[in-house]
Structure 1
Amino acid sequence: MSPRKAAALRATDDARTLRDHLVTTAQRLLAEGSAATLTVRGIARAAGVADGVLYNHFPDKDTLLATAVRAHVDEAQRALGPLPAPGEAAVAGNLGIYLRAGLDLHRAVLPVFASLLATPVVLTRFAELPAAHSDWRMLLSDYLTGEQRLGRIAAEADTTAAAAILVGICHDQVLGALLPGMSSPTVDPDAVVTTLLAGIGPLE
């Protein structure tokens, strides 16, 4: 272990590797401001290491930032905890849980993605990295499909469109708060679910 590496990790009394330390530092810096303003020197100083240390673990700054974004999204996904499975409890209540989880997830990750709009290469590399946890949107789609198979959602319902509506609500609520002059009226998740089920509930 190099002296600089030892010092950086001793400062936080952390057992992580230096690579993990760099990712965590970049993750924190992304949450604090725009990716466009981050430099190798700035990341290194925040991590307490020499500038060149970054290149011992990553080919360039963009790859480090993409890895940091991946770690941030994985943490946000993990924080959602277990979500309802098809057949459990009531569909309306379950969809309310999914929608609230989606809103929490989007509030956690969209500000970071918004800061990356000026650095599309980071977003491209992020998309190439494997996820540690199942994507919330995929879990939602699988849930709706499973409920449809059980007959708790109408057979003729378009569950892909239903998922897109709930995802769209998350985008509207969170992006509206991020963009100046674009704020959207706050919606009640239960009211959204009630409205949605009025169109996809089983026919009587």
Structure 2
Amino acid sequence: MPTGVAIRDVRDQLFDAADRILLRDGPSGLTSRAVTAEAGVAKGVLHRHFADFDAFLADFVLDRVDRMDAQAAALLGSAGRGTVPDNLTDALTALFGSVAVAIVALVTFRDELRARLRDTWPAGVPVLTEAVTMIAAYLTAERDLGRLAPDAPVDALAPTLIGTAHLLFADRRGAQPEREAVHQAVTTVVGAALRQP
């Protein structure tokens, strides 16, 4: 890109490029040079907007966590409608069908990134802990509506669902699991807590 040409929404452009690289090449392929090449910008653009590459990655991860707010709101809005297993299956498929699995691998792969994230995210892996919070809020709403048992262990069910889904979707190069496989896993986890209307 020629010097002096203004780039609109450079952060989004760089973050979207990072998404594509992560999904295509995994964490080892995510370099500052790869990001700028994928975004179609000059090599120095990233370093003009971020202190260094790990600062870019930390902002990228936190931005992707913030984008989960819409998913969380949609899932919570589905409480009381459809079936609990169907709602959870759709939410987990959307979550793990996105860049979320690759971000987990990225955070695990880069020590400096984990250290930087600890400044603003003291425990857990950001995408996964946010996902647990999202699922727990939904399960609590369903319990309050009587579609789950009053003693349903939401604090145990939510991380179990996230861990189970993560294992189903973790093979980045393989085909995504069939919806039925996700649905069966969800039903196995929450089945004992479900109440018939």
TM over 0.5: yes
Q: Quick one: which of 138, 141, 145 aligns to 1:143?
A: 138
Q: Quick one: which of 35, 44, 53 aligns to 2:45?
A: 53
Please name the residue that 1:122 is paired with.
113
Please name the residue that 1:94 is paired with.
84
The answer on whether the counterparts of 1:116 and 1:123 sit within 8 Å (CA) in structure 2 is yes
Q: Which runs of 5+ in 2 are unaligned?
A: none
Q: 1:23 to 1:147 in 2, by over 3 A?
A: closer
Q: Are 1:110 and 2:101 matched, yes or no?
A: yes
| Superimposed CA distance per residue, residues 50-91 of structure 1 (whole angstroms, 9 cap, x where no aligned partner) | 43332221000111122233344555664687124476235x
Deviates more, 1:44-53 or 1:61-70: 44-53
The answer on whether the counterparts of 1:87 and 1:147 sit within 8 Å (CA) in structure 2 is yes
The answer on whether the counterparts of 2:80 and 2:147 sit within 8 Å (CA) in structure 1 is no
What secondary structure does 1:156 align onto?
coil
In structure 2, how many angstroms separate the alpha carbons of the residues matched to 1:196 and 1:45? 43
Please name the residue that 1:4 is paired with.
3
Q: Are 1:172 and 2:162 matched, yes or no?
A: no
Q: Are 1:70 and 2:55 matched, yes or no?
A: no
> How many aligned residue pairs are there?
188
Q: Which runs of 5+ in 1 are unaligned?
A: 10-15
Please name the residue that 1:13 is paired with.
none
**Aligned AA for 2:91?**
A
| Superimposed CA distance per residue, residues 111-166 of structure 1 (whole angstroms, 9 cap, x where no aligned partner) | 343245331222443565689xx944322211222232343322222121222332
In structure 1, how many angstroms separate the alpha carbons of the residues matched to 2:187 and 2:31? 48
The answer on whether the counterparts of 2:148 and 2:195 sit within 8 Å (CA) in structure 1 is yes
Q: 1:73 to 1:64 in 2, by over 3 A?
A: same
Larger Rg: 1
In structure 1, how many angstroms separate the alpha carbons of the residues matched to 2:38 and 2:79? 48
Please name the residue that 1:18 is paired with.
10
**Aligned AA for 1:52?**
G
**Aligned AA for 1:119?**
R
In structure 2, how many angstroms separate the alpha carbons of the residues matched to 1:68 and 1:84? 25
The answer on whether the counterparts of 2:88 and 2:186 sit within 8 Å (CA) in structure 1 is no
**Aligned AA for 1:63?**
A
Q: Are 1:31 and 2:23 matched, yes or no?
A: yes
TM-score (norm: length of structure 1): 0.67
TM-score (norm: length of structure 2): 0.69
